[in-house]
Amino acid sequence: MIKEGPFQSRYDAPTMWLHWLTAVLVVGQWIGAKTIDYWPRGYLRVDARSMHITFGLILVLVFIARVAWRLGPRRKLPAAESGFWGNVARAMHWLLYVLIACTLLLGITLMTIRGDSYFGLFALPSVGAAASQLRPTIAELHDLCATTLLIIAGFHASVGVLHPYIFGSNVLNRMWPRIAK
């Protein structure tokens, strides 16, 4: 049986939109990054990388908006769980934010080291040859953070879906948009 109470409270629309837009962008970016090298060298690969850069910059803006909204006027709900599990949930959310920030910063750093062509229209500014020695390390860290983010986000989503069976509360309804009837 699902418990009633504060679990039935819902987040406001901007919080939900920013949450789900972040989720879609993170998954899409990870898939895009893993498939860039399958495109043939030349224009198609440049376009694939340019799309990854574009959506990465969109994710930067969404992330900034999300953090600003979270610190600002959003609807603040009581914690779904208290005690140990409430602390685990808070730590999980902070970890997700840190991983998103690290992945984005490493992506921007990698972009400036490479000096990528943007849809063949112009080359992005490059910090120079001296930084190019860092490229493999930055690329590995970017990939590691992105993959860790995806795994942790998958765990986060799984716990939300399984919450009624584990804790007896339907916490997913707090973030799930209502469907008009």
What would the pLDDT profile of 26-58 be if each residue is shown by its tens digit? 999 999 999 999 999 999 999 999 999 999 999
Q: Is residue 180 part of a domain?
A: no
Q: Is residue 54 part of a domain?
A: yes
Q: Which of 59-63, 76-80, 150-154 has the lowest average pLDDT? A: 76-80
H/E segment holding residue 6 = none
Q: Is residue 13 part of a domain?
A: yes
Task: Give the model's pLDDT for residue 169.
Answer: 80
Instruction: Measure the CA–CA gap between 173 and 170, rounded to whole angstroms.
Output: 6
Residue 101 CB neighbour total at 10 angstroms:
16
Q: Kindly report each contact of residues 170-177 with a partner whose C-beta sits within 8 Å and lies 24 or more positions away, as own/partner.
A: 170/2, 170/7, 170/8, 171/7, 171/80, 173/7, 173/8, 173/10, 174/7, 174/9, 174/10, 174/11, 174/77, 174/80, 175/11, 175/15, 175/16, 175/19, 175/20, 176/16, 177/13, 177/16, 177/20
Q: Work out the pLDDT band at 130, boundaries 50, 70, 90.
A: low
With a CB cutoff of 8 Å and minimum separation 6, the contacts of 53 are 111, 116, 118, 124
Residue 72: CATH number of its domain? 1.20.950
Partner residues linked to 118 by β-bridges: 122
Mean pLDDT of 95-100: 98
Q: Is residue 103 part of a domain?
A: yes
Using the predicted structure, report yes or no on whether residue 2 has a pLDDT greater than 70: no
Instruction: Measure the CA–CA gap between 15 and 98, rounded to whole angstroms.
Output: 18
Q: Is residue 123 part of a domain?
A: yes
Q: Which of 35-39, 93-97, 126-130, 160-164 has the lowest average pLDDT? A: 126-130
Using the predicted structure, report yes or no on whether residue 131 has a pLDDT greater than 60: yes
Q: Is residue 179 part of a domain?
A: no
Predicted structure pTM score: 0.87
Domain assignment of residue 31, given as a range: 6-174
Instruction: Measure the CA–CA gap between 175 and 2, rounded to whole angstroms.
Output: 17
Q: Is residue 127 part of a domain?
A: yes
Q: Work out the pLDDT band at 168, boundaries 50, 70, 90.
A: confident
Q: Is residue 1 part of a domain?
A: no
The helices-and-strands tally (H runs, E runs) of the chain is 4, 2
Instruction: Measure the CA–CA gap between 104 and 108, rounded to whole angstroms.
Output: 6
Tell me how many domains the chain contains.
1
